[in-house]
């Protein structure tokens, strides 16, 4: 049975993650003990740490690192810098990462971390101080065979370089495999920066193969960071018409197509979309979710589509660039209307997949060319997509989300069962 909290609108990412898990567990017939194991968190690390600011004062920050389940291998998950970071959200993201790695066939369990900070409100020096201190705090629970952080919202390759350097200094030698998403010049992987957005493109091309792919499709992208911005640029390059884009403050609409490449280059330089002088009408960011387009890409944050706005969502196809952008209740409503959703567990797995490639390269002290990275990314994601579609077709009333969730949980259950319980 579903937990009692599922009766009302899911008001947190953790509530959504648990509801999705129990729904899949019902379909799989999991017993109470299996559910207890899979909804437990291996490690929940909370810390409060001081950071010296540019004026010589000290400010205390809250940080988290959560390990969900390590049955399939070392733990993998991003580090998020945001004023909205909470322990419940970090737990949900760690759980989703467990299922995502399993669906993609990666030998990882799920983890996640975060610091409550607005990275735009601190200087580069303060951000480095914060990163190095947070890394020192979590050093006892991370490592290339234990837990491998990566970039997430509010963090980037530079932050990962600081994390790797701090961890390495404490061990007396360079350990490139402790994080992924690093700059290529210090052990990062070619293709990692575009991996999540490129994965979205590969999956859409496969999903729409019988309809000519993405060429000519009208697209709205909600969120314009590393995932949304890269996806918009790649989709435009592939022949799609990206009519809507937005960051957290500004939306832009151009029925002829926004120049996504130019807009993203502007944003990558650290400037807000509101100041970009490209063609297009300025609109509210959340109006992008209600766009009359062929494909909607929610790529910003959790719970942007809920019962409050689901009736105004018009796209017949949604591919989730963010984690948990559609609440379970909104998901039910969209499914009832015949909307197809390519779920986050599959849709945004490109990032962690290439992170796996980066980790493999670091462990072997080898370097792959970008074409090899992209070819392997396409192969793994298309294999995963076809497995999910096959499950959805075989099972009655099974959505792609249901199928992906069930496959991920099954694979983790198998690993737990084979390994047994120690002692």
Helix axes 226-237, 195-207, angle to 10 degrees: 50
Q: Which two tokens stand for residue 346?
A: 């599959």
Of 172, 206, 236, which closes a domain?
A: 172
Asked if residue 312 is part of any domain, the answer here is yes
Q: Which two tokens stand for residue 413?
A: 């259950």
Asked if residue 186 is part of any domain, the answer here is no
The CA distance from 165 to 159, in Å, is 10
The CA distance from 353 to 228, in Å, is 18
Domain assignment of residue 226, given as a range: 195-347
**Strand positions, DSSP E, 233-313:** 241-246, 251-253, 281-283, 295-298
* Residues 114 and 209 reside in one and the same domain: no
* Residues 224 and 297 reside in one and the same domain: yes
* Residues 66 and 154 reside in one and the same domain: yes
| pLDDT value of position 2 | 35
Q: Are 234 and 198 in contact (CB under 8 A)?
A: yes
The CA distance from 149 to 176, in Å, is 12
| pLDDT value of position 8 | 52
Residue among 112, 182, 217, 256 flagged as catalytic: 112
Of 137, 172, 207, which closes a domain?
A: 172
Alpha carbons within 13 A on the beta-carbon side of 135 = 26
Q: Where are the alpha helices (DSSP H) in 212-278?
A: 226-237, 260-268
Reference 411, options 71, 40, 66; nearest CA is 71
* Residues 280 and 138 reside in one and the same domain: no
Asked if residue 402 is part of any domain, the answer here is no
Asked if residue 395 is part of any domain, the answer here is no
Buried b (16+ CB within 10 A) or exposed e, 105-131: bbebbbbbbbbbbebeebeeebbbbbb
Which of the 8 DSSP states describes residue 305?
B
| pLDDT value of position 5 | 38
What region, left, alpha or beta, does residue 76 occupy, with left being phi > 0 and alpha being psi -120 to 50 degrees? Answer: beta
Reference 339, options 321, 320, 324, 322; nearest CA is 320
Q: Which residues contact 180 (CB under 8 A, 6 or more apart)?
A: 148, 149, 150, 160, 188, 189, 192, 355, 356, 358, 359, 362
* Residues 159 and 210 reside in one and the same domain: no
* Residues 167 and 203 reside in one and the same domain: no
Asked if residue 389 is part of any domain, the answer here is no
CATH of the domain at 234: 3.40.50.720
* Residues 222 and 148 reside in one and the same domain: no
CATH of the domain at 102: 3.40.50.10860
CA distances from 310 to 42, 74, 114 (A): 35, 37, 29
Helix or strand holding residue 334 (H, E): helix 328-336
The CA distance from 115 to 46, in Å, is 10
Q: Which two tokens stand for residue 361?
A: 């390269």
Asked if residue 374 is part of any domain, the answer here is no
Phi, psi of 225 (to 5 degrees): -95, -145
Q: Are 350 and 195 in contact (CB under 8 A)?
A: yes
Asked if residue 104 is part of any domain, the answer here is yes
* Residues 239 and 145 reside in one and the same domain: no
* Residues 203 and 267 reside in one and the same domain: yes
Beta bridge partners of residue 49, listed in sequence order: 61
Helix or strand holding residue 61 (H, E): strand 58-69
Q: Which two tokens stand for residue 79?
A: 């580090």
* Residues 121 and 257 reside in one and the same domain: no
* Residues 233 and 291 reside in one and the same domain: yes
The CA distance from 209 to 155, in Å, is 34
Angle at the Cα of 310 from the Cα atoms of 305 and 313, rounded to 5 degrees: 95
The CA distance from 87 to 28, in Å, is 28
Strand-pair category, 317-319 with 295-298: parallel
Of 347, 369, 389, which closes a domain?
A: 347
Q: How does pLDDT run along the chain (423 residues), one tens digit per residue?
A: 333 334 456 678 999 999 999 999 999 999 999 999 999 999 999 999 999 999 999 999 999 999 999 999 999 999 999 999 999 999 999 999 999 999 999 999 999 999 999 999 999 999 999 999 999 999 999 999 999 999 999 999 999 999 999 999 999 999 999 999 999 999 999 999 999 999 999 999 999 999 999 999 999 999 999 999 999 999 999 999 999 999 999 999 999 999 999 999 999 998 999 999 999 999 999 999 999 999 999 999 999 999 999 999 999 999 999 999 999 999 999 999 999 999 999 999 999 999 999 999 999 999 999 999 999 999 999 999 999 999 999 988 999 999 999 999 999 999 999 999 998
- Specify the pTM: 0.95
Q: Which two tokens stand for residue 287?
A: 């109006």
* Residues 341 and 238 reside in one and the same domain: yes
Domain count, the chain: 2
Asked if residue 149 is part of any domain, the answer here is yes
Q: Note if 112 is an active site residue.
A: yes
The CA distance from 284 to 288, in Å, is 7
């Amino acid at each position: 049975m579903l937990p009692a909290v599922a009766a009302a609108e899911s008001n947190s990412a953790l509530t959504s993650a648990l509801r999705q898990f129990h729904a899949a567990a019902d379909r799989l017939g999991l017993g109470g003990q299996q559910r207890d194991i899979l909804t437990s968190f291996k490690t929940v690390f909370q810390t409060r740490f001081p950071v010296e600011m540019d004026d010589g004062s000290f400010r205390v920050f809250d940080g988290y690192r959560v390990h969900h389940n390590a049955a399939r291998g070392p733990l993998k998950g991003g580090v998020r810098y945001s004023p909205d970071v909470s322990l419940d959200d970090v737990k949900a993201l760690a759980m989703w990462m467990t299922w995502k790695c399993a669906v993609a066939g990666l030998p990882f369990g799920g983890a996640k971390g975060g610091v409550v900070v607005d990275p735009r409100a601190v200087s580069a020096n303060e951000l480095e101080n914060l990163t190095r201190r947070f890394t020192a705090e979590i050093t006892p629970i991370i490592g290339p065979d234990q837990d491998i952080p990566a970039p997430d919202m509010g963090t980037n390759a530079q932050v990962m370089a600081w994390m790797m350097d701090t961890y390495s200094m404490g061990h007396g030698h360079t350990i490139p495999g402790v994080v992924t998403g690093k700059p290529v010049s210090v052990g990062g992987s070619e293709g990692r920066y575009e991996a999540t957005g490129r994965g979205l493109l590969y999956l859409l091309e496969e999903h729409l193969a019988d309809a000519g792919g993405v060429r000519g499709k009208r697209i709205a992208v909600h969120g314009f960071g590393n995932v949304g911005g890269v996806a918009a640029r790649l989709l435009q390059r592939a022949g799609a018409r990206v009519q809507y884009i937005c960051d957290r403050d500004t939306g832009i609409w151009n029925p002829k197509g926004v120049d996504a490449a130019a807009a993203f280059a502007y944003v990558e330089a650290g400037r807000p979309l509101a100041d970009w002088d490209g063609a297009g009408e300025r609109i509210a960011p959340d109006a992008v979710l209600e766009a009359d387009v062929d494909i909607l890409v929610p790529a910003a944050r959790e719970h942007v589509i809920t019962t409050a706005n689901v009736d105004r969502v018009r796209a017949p196809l949604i591919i989730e660039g963010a984690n948990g952008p559609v609440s379970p209740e909104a998901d039910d409503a969209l499914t009832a209307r015949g909307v197809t959703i390519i779920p986050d567990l599959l849709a945004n797995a490109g990032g962690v997949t290439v992170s796996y490639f980066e980790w493999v390269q670091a462990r072997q002290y080898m370097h792959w060319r970008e074409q090899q990275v992209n070819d392997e990314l396409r192969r793994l994601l298309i294999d995963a997509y076809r497995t999910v579609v096959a499950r959805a077709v075989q099972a009655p009333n099974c959505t792609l989300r249901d199928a992906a969730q069930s496959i991920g949980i099954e694979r983790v259950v198998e690993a737990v069962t084979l390994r047994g319980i120690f002692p």
